Structure 1
Amino acid sequence: MDPQTALFQQHRPRLFGLAYRMLGTPADAEDVLHDAWLRWHAQDTAALDDPEAWLVTVTTRLALDRLRRARTEREHYPGPWLPEPLLVDADQPEAQLERAESLTLSFLLLLERLSAEERAAFLLREVFDYSHAEAAAMLEISEDACRQRVHRAKQRLRQERPRPDAPDTDRQHRLLERFAEALQQPDMDTLRALFAEDAVHISDGGGLVTATLRPLHGAERLARLYLQIALHQRGQGVRHEIHRLNGTPALLSWQGDTLISASWIDEDETGISAIHALRHPGKLARLAAVTKSPGPASLH
């Protein structure tokens, strides 16, 4: 491997982690890295004082451009949009992406509440530990403007997620086990007891399969929805497996060899506070390819 390629590969995990957190889909992150590599390959790297800063700057700006385009496209998206899980082997460097709590699917969805500019500034400063001055230079803004963007982002995230605690993955796993059991033996009271009173359900079908077109709120409504789903699936050979996606447990539902949904939850002391159901066939395709081996696997 030539020195220029070796240097790019050295920084690749950080670049990928940044692009994925910016965009929420591995394929888009890979496209950004491909474009960054082309620019890197055309660059006289011997003239660079700080190759890492150059690479992070280019990756950030490419991701910003792609995110702005994606936001415009998502204005016409049928129903809620959910991020796509990241699938890497635990031995690959991408599996060691810093600050894993910022990699969860729920947190990626939370980042969607920020503007593209706030998202970039927040990630550079709070996740990747660049100073305000360094992040400002990468974004071509003043240091004061960078501070303001980070401050607004943190305020907005606190409003959306008042509990700053890391997810309790053991409790999430137990709740998903009980949820899977309730789907196999559907009962309204059993399902109702799993949900917090103000629980919310968000489903992404991309307009290609049946899914709720707006969030549903309330334990009663969610229990009725999943009771109907469970009764409809009776006798259709649907099975459920718990896997690990982006560091937290998720429930994968299969019908034969077809993955029909991937669901992950947020929880509080009263039960499931939010359930996110990914049903978009395209987003499930890569996930299905990795999880078709018998029995649950650990996906990072």
Structure 2
Amino acid sequence: MPEHSRPNDDHAERFTALRPLLFTIVYEILGSATDADDVLQDSYLRWAEVDLAAVRDTKSYLARLVTRQALNALRAGARRREDYIGPWLPEPLLVDDHDLSADVVLAESVSMAMLVVLETLTPNERAVFVLREVFGFSHHDVAGAVGQSVGTVRQIAHRAREHVQARRKRFEPADAATAVRITEQFMTAATTGHLEGLLALLAPDATWTADSGGKTTATRRPVVGAERVAALLVNLFRRGQETPDLRVAIVNCNNTPALVASRGEHVEGVFLIEIVDQKITDFYVIRNPDKLLAVMAPRQISRV
């Protein structure tokens, strides 16, 4: 092998080995798998120029690199978020159950409920929380990633942790078996138009939040309350049954049962169901076609 080709091979080998971790970091900071792919591509080009002899810890170095690029992307997209029509939801992520089954922290960190909470943090708070609380990087490494002093990072981490804890539900999310059972019961009630059956599955303050970006039909404001959400669902499923070639499949997105509605090869929408304390508490509905382009491509995620 020619001598000059070895550095590039070594760069690629190190980056590829850590790619699931790096993708997960960036996805949790941005809430977008598509944008995370772009950040990783740009980060690899920068990494390929690095003198590996100067890299003491590849994992910490690459985590800092992708975090900086993710923060740049997050800040660049701030105006786009301000002008967004209707609620903004993170991009759904199709995941392998195996990636999540052995890591409770990872499973919760990529949940739609957690990502929605992370949306309420500032960019620096979000990056610090993700790197410190989810991935366990040292305050020193986090400081290098966000360009702040260690003391400032400690303060940001404390503030972000309190903010997240205040907004997370107090009850534990449902285990996998319970989630499957309740989702199947929900599908039976929804497809048969059984209003009482739906109401029995919904929490009293169940919420329906739909993200269309103004590009397709969806409710522009969250719908709150079991009765209102159940009526919406009965109407929606009735119209779905009258739509030719519409198929609905159950998958795992963001460690949450999700319904994928599609016609042919075109995904019409993804409906994520959050179940807490044996009841459905939230429906997160992604209808914006820009956020559905890569939803059926499963991603490998990791905290190590």
Task: Report if TM-score (shorter chain) is over 0.5.
Answer: yes
Q: How many residues align?
A: 292
Q: What is the Cα deviation at residue 164 of structure 1?
A: 6.3
Partner of 2:4: none
SS at match of 2:275: strand
Measure the CA separation in 2 of the matches of 1:99 and 1:89: 12
In the alignment, is residue 15 of structure 1 matched against residue 10 of structure 2?
no
Q: CA RMSD in A?
A: 2.8
Q: What is the Cα deviation at residue 166 of structure 1?
A: 4.6
Q: What is the Cα deviation at residue 46 of structure 1?
A: 1.4
Q: 233, 236, 244: which is aligned to 2:243?
A: 236
Code of the residue aligned with 1:200 in structure 2: it is T
Are the aligned partners of 1:246 and 1:299 in contact in 2 as well (CA < 8 Å)? no
Q: What is the Cα deviation at residue 299 of structure 1?
A: 9.6
In the alignment, is residue 175 of structure 1 matched against residue 157 of structure 2?
no
Partner of 2:113: 106
Going from structure 1 to structure 2, the CA distance change for 1:103 and 1:270 (only over 3 Å counts) comes to closer
Are the aligned partners of 2:261 and 2:270 in contact in 1 as well (CA < 8 Å)? yes
SS at match of 2:137: coil
In the alignment, is residue 83 of structure 1 matched against residue 90 of structure 2?
yes
Measure the CA separation in 2 of the matches of 1:116 and 1:164: 27
Measure the CA separation in 2 of the matches of 1:9 and 1:38: 13
Partner of 1:223: 230
Q: What is the Cα deviation at residue 95 of structure 1?
A: 11
In the alignment, is residue 278 of structure 1 matched against residue 286 of structure 2?
yes
Are the aligned partners of 1:245 and 1:299 in contact in 2 as well (CA < 8 Å)? no
Unpaired stretches in structure 2, ≥5 consecutive residues: 1-7
Q: What is the Cα deviation at residue 221 of structure 1?
A: 1.0
In the alignment, is residue 44 of structure 1 matched against residue 74 of structure 2?
no
Q: What percentage of aligned pairs have identical amino acids?
A: 37
CA deviation vs aligned residue, 1:155-192 (integer Å, no higher than 9, x gap): 11112113263542322222221222222111332222
Measure the CA separation in 1 of the matches of 2:159 and 2:171: 16
Partner of 1:131: 138
Q: What is the correspondence of 1:1-300 to structure 2 with a 5 Å cutoff?
A: 2-87=9-94, 99-163=106-170, 165-237=172-244, 238-255=246-263, 257-269=265-277, 271-288=279-296, 290=297
Code of the residue aligned with 1:287 in structure 2: it is V
Q: Which moved more, 1:225-234 or 1:82-91?
A: 82-91
Partner of 1:295: none
SS at match of 1:285: coil
Q: What is the Cα deviation at residue 88 of structure 1?
A: 5.9
Measure the CA separation in 2 of the matches of 1:12 and 1:259: 27
- Return the structure number with greater relative CO, CA threshold 8 A, min gap 6: 2
SS at match of 1:214: coil
Code of the residue aligned with 1:240 in structure 2: it is V
Are the aligned partners of 1:125 and 1:135 in contact in 2 as well (CA < 8 Å)? yes
Measure the CA separation in 1 of the matches of 2:197 and 2:114: 28
Going from structure 1 to structure 2, the CA distance change for 1:5 and 1:83 (only over 3 Å counts) comes to same
Are the aligned partners of 1:244 and 1:299 in contact in 2 as well (CA < 8 Å)? no
SS at match of 1:286: coil
Unpaired stretches in structure 1, ≥5 consecutive residues: 292-297
Going from structure 1 to structure 2, the CA distance change for 1:139 and 1:235 (only over 3 Å counts) comes to closer
Measure the CA separation in 2 of the matches of 1:223 and 1:88: 28
SS at match of 1:100: helix
Going from structure 1 to structure 2, the CA distance change for 1:18 and 1:47 (only over 3 Å counts) comes to same
SS at match of 2:281: strand
